[in-house]
Amino acid sequence: MSEVLNVEEIFGQNVFTMGKMKERLPKNVYKEVKSVMNNGGELSLEAADVVAKAMKDWAVENGATHYTHWFQPLTGITAEKHDSFVTHPDSEGKMLMEFSGKELIKGEPDASSFPSGGLRATFEARGYTAWDITSPAFLKEDATGVILCIPTAFCSYKGEALDKKTPLLRSMEAVSEQALRIVRLFGNTEATKVVASVGPEQEYFLVDREKYLKRPDLIFAGRTLFGAPAPKGQELEDHYFGTIRERIGAYMKDLNVELWKLGVTAKTQHNEVAPAQHELAPIYETANIAVDHNQLVMETMKKVAGRHGLTCLLHEKPFAGVNGSGKHNNWSLGTDNGVNLLDPGDTPNENIQFLLVLACIIKAVDTHADLLRQSASDVGNDHRLGANEAPPAIISIFLGEQLEDVVKQLVETGEAAHVLQGGKLVTGVSTLPDFTKDATDRNRTSPFAFTGNKFEFRMVGSADSIASPNTTLNAIVAEAFCEAADILEKADDFDLAVHDLIKEYLTEHQRIIFNGNGYSDEWVVEAERRGLPNIKSMIEAVDTLTTDKAVKLFEKFGIFTKAELESREEVLYETYAKTINIEALTMIDMASKQLIPSTVKYSKSLADTVIAVKEAGADTSVQSELLSKVSEKLAAMKAALSKLEEAEEQAGAISNAKEQAFYYKDVVKAAMEDLRTPADELEMIVDKEVWPIPTYGDLIFEV
């Protein structure tokens, strides 16, 4: 028998939970903390000192030597700078570990090297980190030792957001405020806030670390830049939900333990569609905590992999020709008195509220489809969205048969008189039948699907932070709620007004609803006919951030200023250019130093063979043919390499960020493809003993 794992005991072991605070803090301080968490405001410095001391004592008891303000700059990952609790020794050389309230609440890391898109000139290098009291502090435990991590937001001296957390927190407040107005209209006087909940399903690949280390492309770019397909791919569909092999299982077990200790509710695990691909989903939680935890999940996945001689690849498309990885972002809104606004519910009264909420979301998604698309884009995701893979780049909503039918009735007659599958009719103002959850089959091709009591946004990339998609969702829905509340709060006849409004919204925005196959070519044509945006790449989505409509939305709810949006655009273009540049340089490096030299050697051995065989008086036709084929492809590879080098040089000379990004997309990427083709063809004919890098077969079938 293996050692019994006490999950209840280890869960949250490394988190400074509310429970621990309650235990360790004086009652009045604990109360103050709770009040700030629930109602906002600032902790007094006296209280902060007490909290800091309790936090430090707990951390030190658990082996911590350092603390860090843990934040999420625009790099998409997290950042930390460790400070030890060490203080100046007294005259006798005795040192006491200390941590003050000031240090807990605010930090001033030198931030000059983080992307800011021009928001902060280098002479104003300071960025400020501020404690996000609503996300618990935790201990990171690894070879570095034990570090107390304090989740923070990261801003400039003038308070401009330099991170992904600040706008997210702002958007959560906005959607809460506006959603409260909606539930008040339906008589809910108890709720004091509405919380956005998020459950992200994280996909990832695992490869053998030894083999990974032989692939510069995996090391530098996180994806293979060369590689012929293996004889077998995912066509047998034998990996999806397949039995988990021991080596992978041992990894998953360790990963779960690490995550549980961090208070992450790792819940499901399974093999995904592609060979060597897997998924982990936690239980949903408040959006900002879910965002923090997803970062921890990604980080822990990588860390634990190393301990098992594995490497975790989070890139959206590590291998051409097999499925890439995404992150289904499940999102819903719930009041603090327990009502999920996306739950169809079982009384007609609640159903009207649900219908209004649904109509608002449909309106929001249709109005801002471009922004949603943008929020889910990153460099790696370009290989998925709109590139023959799940899901398409066109935003549409899947409601399921039953709900779609209800919407259709409402649009046509203003009443939902009946429900599919013989549901009961309830009369009144646009009354609604009781929906069974998951009433209809799932539609895996939809980028934005209603799944019972939540929406599942399936476009998000596996390596990306989920902060932007949730910020955008909260923002656009806040706007729709606000517009609805503005009308309904003034209505003389509420029932009639809400009825009319639902009908109006659904009628105007029904074009965004699509229940068919999102992967089909017909849908592309149909979507165009409906006037839905089809934004094909990340950088084509960038300027959706600063359209009048977007600026109005984000400024109205205080989520982004125009300057912040412009800075983000700049960062996105730069990130794109830098990423493709690294990929191109890696290809040049691999082709020049590995693939071409190996092929040259191989062709020399072929030539030697031809001579020797000829001398021996035998037929050399096979060897000669192979030799000329190899020489021909070698020449093609060399020519393509020169072209790529040229394109790189041109790209480097462009100073405008946007222009440069587009040059990378249109010219450099094409040159990269052209280099890959002869290389992959060569891989198929060159002796495996000679080929210098592990193949797709080695990488994804021999883990």
Residue 377 beta carbon to Mg ion: minimum distance, rounded to whole angstroms: 20
373 binds, among Mg ion, ligand ADP, none (CB under 5 to 8 A by kind): none
Q: Which residue is nearest to ligand ADP (CB)?
A: 199
695 binds, among Mg ion, ligand ADP, none (CB under 5 to 8 A by kind): none
Q: Provide the greatest CA pair distance for the chain.
A: 104
332 binds, among ligand ADP, Mg ion, none (CB under 5 to 8 A by kind): ligand ADP
The CA–CA distances, whole Å, from 122 to 72, 158, 187, 313, 515 equal 19, 14, 52, 34, 50
Residue 312 beta carbon to Mg ion: minimum distance, rounded to whole angstroms: 20
470, two tokens:
């949730």
**Residue (279 or 683) nearer to Mg ion, CB:** 279
Whole-angstrom Cα distance, residue 423 to residue 418?
7
List all residues 6 or more positions away from 320 whose beta carbon is below 8 Å from its beta carbon.
224, 227, 229
Residue 140 beta carbon to ligand ADP: minimum distance, rounded to whole angstroms: 23
690, two tokens:
């000679």
Using CB under 6 A as the criterion, which residues of the chain lie in contact with ligand ADP when the complex forms?
197-199, 201, 268, 281-284, 328, 330-332, 340, 453-454
**Residue (198 or 369) nearer to ligand ADP, CB:** 198
Q: CB 491: neighbour CB atoms within 10 A?
A: 14
518 binds, among Mg ion, ligand ADP, none (CB under 5 to 8 A by kind): none
Sign, CA dihedral 261-262-267-273, equals negative
- Residues composing the chain: 703
**Residue (281 or 584) nearer to ligand ADP, CB:** 281
Q: Is 54 exposed, middle or buried (0-12, 13-18, 19+ CB in 10 A)?
A: buried
**Residue (23 or 438) nearer to ligand ADP, CB:** 438
Residue 226 beta carbon to ligand ADP: minimum distance, rounded to whole angstroms: 33
**Residue (247 or 442) nearer to ligand ADP, CB:** 442
340 binds, among ligand ADP, Mg ion, none (CB under 5 to 8 A by kind): ligand ADP
Strand partners, 204: 278
The CA–CA distances, whole Å, from 599 to 588, 604, 614, 676, 687 equal 15, 8, 22, 14, 9
Q: Which residue is nearest to Mg ion (CB)?
A: 328
252 binds, among ligand ADP, Mg ion, none (CB under 5 to 8 A by kind): none
Residue 366 beta carbon to Mg ion: minimum distance, rounded to whole angstroms: 23
3-state secondary structure of 150: strand
461 binds, among Mg ion, ligand ADP, none (CB under 5 to 8 A by kind): none
Residue 365 beta carbon to ligand ADP: minimum distance, rounded to whole angstroms: 16
Contact 297, 202 (CB under 8 A): yes
Q: Hey, which bits of 522-567 come out as E strands?
A: none
Whole-angstrom Cα distance, residue 671 to residue 665?
10
Whole-angstrom Cα distance, residue 542 to residue 132?
28
Q: Are strands 145-156 and 64-70 parallel, antiparallel or unpaired?
A: parallel
129 binds, among ligand ADP, Mg ion, none (CB under 5 to 8 A by kind): none
**Residue (457 or 523) nearer to Mg ion, CB:** 457
49 binds, among Mg ion, ligand ADP, none (CB under 5 to 8 A by kind): none
**Residue (12 or 324) nearer to Mg ion, CB:** 324
Using CB under 5 A as the criterion, which residues of the chain lie in contact with Mg ion when the complex forms?
328
**Residue (231 or 338) nearer to ligand ADP, CB:** 338
**Residue (270 or 549) nearer to ligand ADP, CB:** 270
Strand partners, 188: none
**Residue (283 or 670) nearer to ligand ADP, CB:** 283
Residue 482 beta carbon to ligand ADP: minimum distance, rounded to whole angstroms: 22
Residue 25 beta carbon to ligand ADP: minimum distance, rounded to whole angstroms: 30
The CA–CA distances, whole Å, from 205 to 61, 91, 297, 311 equal 36, 55, 14, 8
Whole-angstrom Cα distance, residue 231 to residue 589?
27
Residue 265 beta carbon to ligand ADP: minimum distance, rounded to whole angstroms: 8
Q: Is 332 exposed, middle or buried (0-12, 13-18, 19+ CB in 10 A)?
A: buried
Residue 201 beta carbon to Mg ion: minimum distance, rounded to whole angstroms: 5
Contact 124, 157 (CB under 8 A): yes
Whole-angstrom Cα distance, residue 558 to residue 552?
10
171 binds, among ligand ADP, Mg ion, none (CB under 5 to 8 A by kind): none
